Amino acid sequence: MKIADKNTKAVDLVREALEKAKKYEEYHCFISMNESHALERAREIDEKIANGEKVGRLAGVPYALKDNYLSREGVTTAAARMLDNFPSPITATAVAKLEAEGAIMIGRTNLDAYAHGSSTENSYFGPTLNSHDTSRVAGGSSGGSAVAVALGIVPFALGSDTGGSIRQPASYNGVIGIKPTYGTVSRYGVVAMASSTDVMGCFANTIEDADLVMRIMAGKDPKDSTTLDDFWTRDLEDAKPKKKKIGIVKDFLGNGVDEEVKKTFLDYAKQAEKAGFEVEEIEMPIAKYGLAIYYIIQPAEVASNLSRYDGIRYGHRAAEITDLDSIYNKTRDEGFMPENKRRIMIGNFVLSSGFFDAYYLKAQKARTLLIKAYDEAFEKYDALLCAVAPAPAFKLGEKVNDPLQMYMEDVMSVPPSMAGLPAIAVPAGSSKSGLPIGVQLVGPRKSDQVLLNIAKSIEESK
């Protein structure tokens, strides 16, 4: 990551990033650009450096912002018609921390509307294309951010991960994606999706860059009561794995997993052994229920969080309304994408009288059992290893009309999310056709940097 100094101008770094964004415009990574503000901030940083003033750890570094993070610069749309022209009154805590260190946002990246999706095809502004094959999806929901990093437009980009929205597009595009421990980074100023699993993370091309970005964003925020005290150490090398043991989740290697994904995964496990780790297969039978648990609890939280979009307080309002019911009905019909409506309906169903105990309450009890299973595994292992998704990136349009097939893309990524665990996706190889394939390392709560160290040592052993 190039940092501005006396020899490297922030203006040059930003201009280079903006030029690359224009060069790769066909991939549709960005919803909007922040060119004038970005260049203005770059000039301010160059002036500080010229005057000998202190600058931050990310001075002049351009980055891309997933468009569900609020910032006073430009409009925050969450890739939804409902917020098509929403000027944010606040800046997200994570964004404020990065910009206090001199990072410069060059544009807002595309996503599935309200982060509901696994392909970035559910965006009101159209899909983002895969960085390695433009006929395939970028993954979701943080597809735009992953592609912006994969194409080298920016050295890092922000994403959010509720059930795999950082890890899956990271795997599909061959970059590093960090889903931190729940509560590591403040959610204040980020459009809510499912509040008990939403986490803020990032994409990068190197472990060191990802670590630095997360170190800056992490920490307690009085505006978000779920945030944890800052456990991110100042030095990555301080967080070493103690047991030197990794567990392979056998339950994620069964039917439905692409053979090339299996081979890449097993090759990575062998590389872990070469790096000095003892690797063993473990069984976690409850993991197969993770997806069912998620798609009961998450839609319930989605329905609750999206109830605020009513055409009255802010955002889109339908025309030709006649009464209060028509404001609600027409506005929400026009403002939400089909996938948003699907999750709202599922969520309201599982929370409704007569079904709450049968579905929502039972799912929460199963979630507790899932958390317990992970806790027991981590008594023996530093980390668990599994694939990120059952197959490499699929074709555009292939699954968009089949929600069950689309939801199956999350089968390996949602269990750690339901348990609030850190998980990082790292590139592990590629298919015969050149599509990236990633794996994910999952660890106990607050072991985020240990996972980075494990990934680093495996990478260095190649």
For residue 385, give Cα distances in angstroms to 85, 170, 207, 363, 451: 42, 16, 17, 25, 10
Set 66, 97, 446, 456: catalytic member: 66
Set 118, 165, 413, 431: catalytic member: 165
Of 401, 444, 396, 400, which Cα lies nearest the Cα of 420?
Answer: 444
For residue 283, give Cα distances in angstroms to 239, 250, 384, 423, 438: 27, 6, 11, 19, 21
| 141 catalytic per annotation | yes
| 66 catalytic per annotation | yes
Set 71, 141, 145, 186: catalytic member: 141
| 131 catalytic per annotation | no
Cα–Cα distance measured from residue 382 to residue 240, given in angstroms and rounded to the nearest whole number? 10
Cα–Cα distance measured from residue 114 to residue 104, given in angstroms and rounded to the nearest whole number? 24
Cα–Cα distance measured from residue 363 to residue 366, given in angstroms and rounded to the nearest whole number? 5
The vertex-282 CA angle with 241 and 430, nearest 5°, equals 75
Helix, strand and coil content of the chain, in percent to the nearest 5, comes to: 40, 15, 40
Cα–Cα distance measured from residue 420 to residue 413, given in angstroms and rounded to the nearest whole number? 12
For residue 442, give Cα distances in angstroms to 109, 177, 217, 434: 26, 12, 20, 26
Residue with tokens 């980009």: 157
Question: Is 149 in contact with 140 (CB distance < 8 Å)?
Answer: no
Give the burial string for 307-327 (b: 16+ CB within 10 Å, else e): eebbbeeebbbbeeeeeeeeb
Query: Which residue type does 45 have?
Result: I
Residues forming the active site: 66, 141, 165
